[in-house]
Amino acid sequence: MSFNELLEKLAATAMDVDAAQNWPTQQFDWLAESGVLGWVIPEEYGGQPVSESECVTGYERLATACLTTCFALTQRNGACQRIVGSSNEEIKAELLPRLASGESFATVGISHLTTSRQHIAKPMVRVEQRGDHFILNGMIPWVTGAIAADHIVTGGTCDDGLQVLIAMPCDLDGISIHPKVELMSLTAAETTSIDLKNVRIPKKYLLAGPVEGVMSQGVGGGAGSLTTSTLALGVSARSLALIQEEAESRPNLKENVSAFQHDVESLREDIGKASLGIASDEPQLSATMIRQRSNSLALRITQAALTITKGAGFMKGHAAELAVREAMFFLVWSCPQPVVQGVLSELACRDGF
Ligand SMILES: Cc1cc2nc3c(=O)[nH]c(=O)nc-3n(C[C@H](O)[C@H](O)[C@H](O)COP(=O)(O)OP(=O)(O)OC[C@H]3O[C@@H](n4cnc5c(N)ncnc54)[C@H](O)[C@@H]3O)c2cc1C
């Protein structure tokens, strides 16, 4: 299946995915058929790798077509990237070929090491080393696609404060996956929490550590990375198309729609530059600034789409109401503190906003 065919199919089923609130199995089959599942996996393991900048462009278009599928893909790709970036050759050879073909699925449960529960002193997941096993106890607060996963890339903290990152097999004793949580949007991505009770994981599944701040090691895109901004841009681009269509027969909308078009294009250009590593010393192109702008644009343009489509857009199942609900996700997903501060300053109309 070509990438354009994939996008058409995803866009045509996006509303149904949102309404049915079930894991997008069919959509992941299409991702496999079109080679997208190979994007972040090296050729030697059966992948079809693309550059970071191609990946960013691809994510934008996928998020425009169906945010739920694209978001679930990014969590799966995050897991794959952490496995690829590890020096554990045995685990790479064992897991990556089946991940590349779509025969197996992995996801991440790492927010408790980055952006979730950071105000709580006690680690969410405690790790003990016993012989050739790690013993995990605690709770992973957020895991997207948990029900579909064969492995979850997750981590925890040892008594000495050092952290480990592990590709945890999901069929081990002591793992309890809670039912999915109903969310404002993206419920179909099956996000939930997982309890861990004396889970014994063979050490061969270790990806990184024990080390201080294991999430700041290696690759995979940290909290608030360019990927998160790209998905917000994808939702904005979809809303832009919607308001442009409305403006065709409503000349009084044209000026505001042009302003939004300019915003979308300039953000796309800057995300493109950042993904190529161009002018990385320009503050405008820092991951934090780009994420703040992406959040701001997604919030403004989706609400503009609602304003323009009026009561019809407020009805369940309209593209405008879906986009408004989806935009809210970027206020809470993978937002490091500087991004949160920037968003709050804008909402409070402070600091030059
Ligand atoms: C739909 C969805 C899917 C996600 N999928 C994944 C995934 O697949 N993998 C993954 O790793 N992560 C995932 N995340 C997690 C995400 O990236 C963020 O880490 C998460 O949204 C942060 O929210 P939290 O409620 O855990 O934050 P917390 O910071 O834990 O806040 C929880 C509550 O604690 C209180 N609080 C917060 N800060 C303070 C403070 N300083 N002092 C006192 N009280 C405070 C507030 O009342 C707040 O409501 C997902 C999140 C969402 C919403």
pLDDT at 350: 87
Does the domain made of 226-341 have the CATH classification 3.40.50.620?
A: no
Got the DSSP string for 135-175? EEEEEEEEEETGGG-SEEEEEEEETTS-EEEEEEETTSTTE
Distance, in Å, from the CA atom of 69 to the CA atom of 57, rounded to the nearest integer, reads: 16
Residue 223: pLDDT band (50, 70, 90) is low
- 349 dihedral zone (left: phi>0; alpha: psi -120 to 50; beta): left
Residues 174, 197 contacting (CB under 8 angstroms) = yes
Helix or strand (DSSP H, E) at 323 = helix 319-332
Predicted TM-score (pTM) of this structure: 0.96
Cα of 35 vs centre of ligand 1, distance in Å, is 32
Mutate to test the pocket of ligand 1, among 81, 332, 339 (most ligand atoms within 8 A of CB): 332
Give the pLDDT mean for 11-16.
98
Cα of 124 vs centre of ligand 1, distance in Å, is 12
237 touches ligand 1 (CB under 6 Å)? no
Ligand 1, closest atom to CA 186? 1
Mutate to test the pocket of ligand 1, among 74, 112, 119, 152 (most ligand atoms within 8 A of CB): 119
188 touches ligand 1 (CB under 6 Å)? no
Ligand 1, closest atom to CA 75? 8
pLDDT > 70 in the chain, percent: 96
Domain span(s) for CATH 1.10.540.10 in the chain: 3-101
334 touches ligand 1 (CB under 6 Å)? yes
Q: Where does 3-101 sit in CATH, by number? A: 1.10.540.10
Nearest residue to 240 via CA among 154, 302, 325, 332: 302
Does the domain made of 107-216 have the CATH classification 2.40.110.10?
A: yes
Q: What is the pLDDT of residues 39-94, one digit of tens each?
A: 999 999 999 999 999 999 999 999 999 999 999 999 999 999 999 999 999 999 99
